[in-house]
Structure 1
């Protein structure tokens, strides 16, 4: 049975206001920290008294407390996990409702606007427009949403890092996903959120993943493991246009247009264009057959990390640093269109198109699994 605020103060429901106030003062003196009492119990008593003053019979549930609080925090790790679990569940439930609402409007080809969430959880506004596009205003924090049409995003997208149960996943079955004026508004996708645009393009802002050092799940003291939250944007039949992609992220598309990539970024596409001057720290480019890479800037030694790897679809690998100093004249004559570039220029930079065939001719053969070195 749920304990009421009357029970907490030890008074009957028929008690007068004077009796309730007297009970509160007596208990407050008993449990006040200045008199050696328990602060947690004092707070509980004070809240019960405040609730009864406005006619509220029962204390807030955990979910109600979170609705009045925007924080992902608590006094202990257990408090944080419990609060975050409740918060994630509440937001995910709202997103399921939003998905059903948008799908119903799509089926009836209707227009409407509705707020989801709350001031405590964070509000987002969804609007189904006459052209079938879904406008989302506000930050998308957790849960999944699938929509059969284009999406216009006016806000950032994040994902909870404490659990995968309520991870953010936005999926479009057709149409483009576009972050509206992402540069000016500093919109970003982060913390392991996933966006899939099955039959369209993704025009987005900055992309950030996250790595956390967490204590050993087995409880071993002084032992830690790395928890990876790789942010993933996928447009298998379209183009991804992004700004800076940093720290544990994966972009997959037919074509990728990007400014910079830094720190454990994976790019998989047939065509890739770089407009910035940084490609650093454990980045990997996976290039499909018949594809190409183009660098619009002249890279510096500092901007191009020696450990960036290009993987070809046939299994061959080549370090990007190894081709940074390669001259166009070092390539087979048949691989370079005649008269289009100064053959004394480097391959990397200045808009030169580095084709799959060029890289294939320079890369080392893929290692084959064979017997032992003794020929057995």
Structure 2
């Protein structure tokens, strides 16, 4: 998977579109890099790859993992795909996806997830004024508590913090501003009632 063998496509004006990608079983994979500078990307399933290599220092029985991210970037538009699986980077103003499966990184202003799965090693970074929306109408069990949410200002959360706030699923919109103030809200709500008196933890 040498860099010189990877597919690189750049569209300066217009969209990158695969026609009926699921029906035609089109998959973008193996570290391909696609950029739509001023448009959208419409594709099917997207997958990267992890390569297991022998230790570069020659130590016997020691191996290292090299990640080859498949990258889809539409900085001024939308990336709309089916499933992102195994080492994928999605970077766009708006990302629309079914499922985020195993080592997926998303950088977006708006993220919309229609499926039920997001693994523990997925990472979402939102930009100011943005939002996340999850349409899972079940228990949310397969949306991992340990997935990481980052804000552009440096704040980091685990997905469990949103689950406990009852903000996940059923198309509820989780805004950047809500996340930015989540730690303040948590501090205000840290307390318990005994009788009719309210005590706060110090």
TM-score normalised by L of structure 1: 0.48
Q: Secondary structure at the residue paired with 1:324?
A: helix
1:49-198 correspondence runs (5 A):
161=1, 163-198=2-37
Q: Which of 93, 101, 104 matches 1:265?
A: 104
Larger radius of gyration: 1
Asked if the contact 2:6/2:30 (under 8 Å) is kept, the reply is no
Tell me which residue corresponds to 1:214. Answer: 53
Q: Offset of 1:301 from its aligned partner?
A: 4.7
Asked if the contact 1:201/1:235 (under 8 Å) is kept, the reply is yes
Label 1:363 to 1:308 Cα distance change in 2 as closer, same or farther (>3 A). Answer: farther
Unpaired segments of 5 or more residues in structure 1? Answer: 1-160, 327-345, 365-376
Taking the aligned partners of 2:103 and 2:82, their CA distance within structure 1 comes to 16
Tell me which residue corresponds to 1:356. Answer: 176
Q: Offset of 1:166 from its aligned partner?
A: 2.3
Taking the aligned partners of 2:106 and 2:44, their CA distance within structure 1 comes to 16
Taking the aligned partners of 2:138 and 2:17, their CA distance within structure 1 comes to 29
Q: Offset of 1:270 from its aligned partner?
A: 0.4
Asked if the contact 1:254/1:270 (under 8 Å) is kept, the reply is yes
Q: Offset of 1:234 from its aligned partner?
A: 0.3
Q: Greater helix percent: which structure?
A: 1
Q: Does 1:249 align with 2:69?
A: no
Taking the aligned partners of 1:275 and 1:298, their CA distance within structure 2 comes to 10
CA deviation profile, 1:322-354 (whole Å, cap 9, x unmatched): 21131xxxxxxxxxxxxxxxxxxx311111111
Asked if the contact 2:79/2:96 (under 8 Å) is kept, the reply is yes
Asked if the contact 1:177/1:200 (under 8 Å) is kept, the reply is yes
Q: Offset of 1:296 from its aligned partner?
A: 1.4
CA deviation profile, 1:92-150 (whole Å, cap 9, x unmatched): xxxxxxxxxxxxxxxxxxxxxxxxxxxxxxxxxxxxxxxxxxxxxxxxxxxxxxxxxxx
Asked if the contact 1:318/1:363 (under 8 Å) is kept, the reply is no
Q: Secondary structure at the residue paired with 1:227?
A: strand
Tell me which residue corresponds to 1:230. Answer: 69
Asked if the contact 1:298/1:348 (under 8 Å) is kept, the reply is no
Q: Secondary structure at the residue paired with 1:350?
A: coil
Which gives a bigger RCO, structure 1 or 2 (Cα 8 Å, sep 6+)?
A: 2
Taking the aligned partners of 1:218 and 1:311, their CA distance within structure 2 comes to 35
Q: Secondary structure at the residue paired with 1:183?
A: coil
Label 1:191 to 1:259 Cα distance change in 2 as closer, same or farther (>3 A). Answer: same
Q: Does 1:204 align with 2:43?
A: yes
Tell me which residue corresponds to 2:167. Answer: 347
Deviant stretches of 4+, over 2 Å: 217-220, 298-302
Q: Secondary structure at the residue paired with 1:357?
A: helix
Q: Offset of 1:315 from its aligned partner?
A: 0.6
Q: Greater strand percent: which structure?
A: 2
Tell me which residue corresponds to 2:190. Answer: none
Q: Secondary structure at the residue paired with 1:211?
A: strand
